[in-house]
Amino acid sequence: MSRLDTLSSRGTAFLGSRHAIMAGAMTWVSERHLVSAISNAGGFGVIACGLMTPDLLDAEIAATKARTGKPFGVNLITLHPLMMDLIDVCARHEVGHVVLAGGLPSGAAIERIKASGAKLMCFAPALALAKKLVRSGVDALVIEGSEAGGHIGPVSTSVLAQEILPVIRDVPVFVAGGIGRGEAIAAYLEMGAAGVQLGTRFAAATESVAHANFKKAFVRASARDAVASVQLDGRLPVIPVRALKNAGSEAFTAKQREMVGHLDAGSVELAEAQLQIEHYWAGALRRAVVDGDIETGSLMAGQSVGMVISIQPVAEIIAELVAEAATALDRRSQLHAAP
């Protein structure tokens, strides 16, 4: 057994995949084609449910199962109004892994997922929350740093890894955010991670249904092009979103100003203002991914976008990552063995 296989054995055993490489769940992108391609290539694909209805999720899972016999997961948003129905859909399909994102899950949701026999994964943005989730019965954690694309937290991946990996040992922990090469995978495995999660590299894969314009923007971009949005007013909490800077980024700033103005005038409630902000992102992301509008759409991407240098098949991406990780680990083993 190679050193890479040894270090990632906990992650592969948990996921049931050849490699401990999860795919991030990306709305409009992580659907049947990309998810099945990742699982078939030895990784672990994850369907992004997003705002799907139970019927749509049912169809998406069925279509994914028709394309792969390998394990894959489903990502659900904790604030979805039909959360329990979505969990039941996953249970009927005997989905082996459910990933909850978007906030702390309710005890009822945790119990329902566990009762279905699925393994439950949750995101832990801080050590205290990681401990709380483990106590609540979560089977594995994902720690995602601010280098990631889409909605992000304030702490970098490397800091989260140093804070959480040495402490959380009871459950597997997968590291995400800014990972684009195998050398980083090797480093996090050596630190105690069970595996990793990547999104940006896969978003621009051949099998991704994202518009050609979207993928080309990724290939052209550098790390510093992926910037986080800024909150303009403390009364209107806005979770930062990392995306490639374009006219859409400026439009979001203008949208915030508009909502702050409505708050000042008393013409809108805070909850409604926040909802309109989220609707902005949902619409802007669809324009970019589905319609190819790379000027006013939201090009959500992590800082690893600078490592997307071409549009590649999923199998090629995973093979590269594995080879790079294995080489890095072998090199370090040889250095340690040298007299």
With respect to residue 119, please indicate whether it lies within any of the assigned structural domains: yes
Where is average pLDDT lowest: 126-130, 142-146, 179-183, 252-256?
Answer: 252-256
Within this chain, do residues 150 and 238 fall inside the same structural domain, yes or no? Answer: no
Q: Which residues pair with 227 in a beta bridge?
A: 243
Within this chain, do residues 149 and 93 fall inside the same structural domain, yes or no? Answer: yes
Q: Report the number of distinct structural domains present in the chain.
A: 2
Within this chain, do residues 163 and 250 fall inside the same structural domain, yes or no? Answer: no
272-290 mean pLDDT:
87
Are 300 and 241 in contact, with CB atoms under 8 Å apart? yes
Within this chain, do residues 65 and 169 fall inside the same structural domain, yes or no? Answer: yes
Within this chain, do residues 195 and 253 fall inside the same structural domain, yes or no? Answer: no
Q: What is the pLDDT of residues 25-79, one digit of tens each?
A: 999 999 999 999 999 999 999 999 998 999 999 999 999 999 999 999 999 999 8
State which residues form the domain around 256.
212-300
Model confidence at 239, pLDDT cuts 50, 70, 90, reads confident
With respect to residue 305, please indicate whether it lies within any of the assigned structural domains: no
C-alpha triplet 61, 287, 83: angle, nearest 5°: 35
Within this chain, do residues 44 and 127 fall inside the same structural domain, yes or no? Answer: yes
Within this chain, do residues 201 and 249 fall inside the same structural domain, yes or no? Answer: no
pTM of the model: 0.94
Within this chain, do residues 60 and 149 fall inside the same structural domain, yes or no? Answer: yes
With respect to residue 306, please indicate whether it lies within any of the assigned structural domains: no
pLDDT at 75: 98
With respect to residue 307, please indicate whether it lies within any of the assigned structural domains: no
Within this chain, do residues 323 and 224 fall inside the same structural domain, yes or no? Answer: no
Share above pLDDT 90 across residues of the chain, in percent, rounded to a whole number: 83
Arithmetic mean of pLDDT over the chain? 95
Are 98 and 87 in contact, with CB atoms under 8 Å apart? yes
Within this chain, do residues 201 and 256 fall inside the same structural domain, yes or no? Answer: no
Long-range contacts for 80-84 (Cβ within 8 Å, ≥24 apart)?
80/49, 80/51, 82/53, 82/54, 83/109, 84/108, 84/109, 84/112
Are 297 and 284 in contact, with CB atoms under 8 Å apart? yes
Judged against a pLDDT cut of 90, whether residue 244 lies above it is answered with yes
What CATH code is carried by the domain that includes residue 175?
3.20.20.70
Q: At what angle do helices 54-67 and 83-92 cross, to 10 degrees?
A: 30
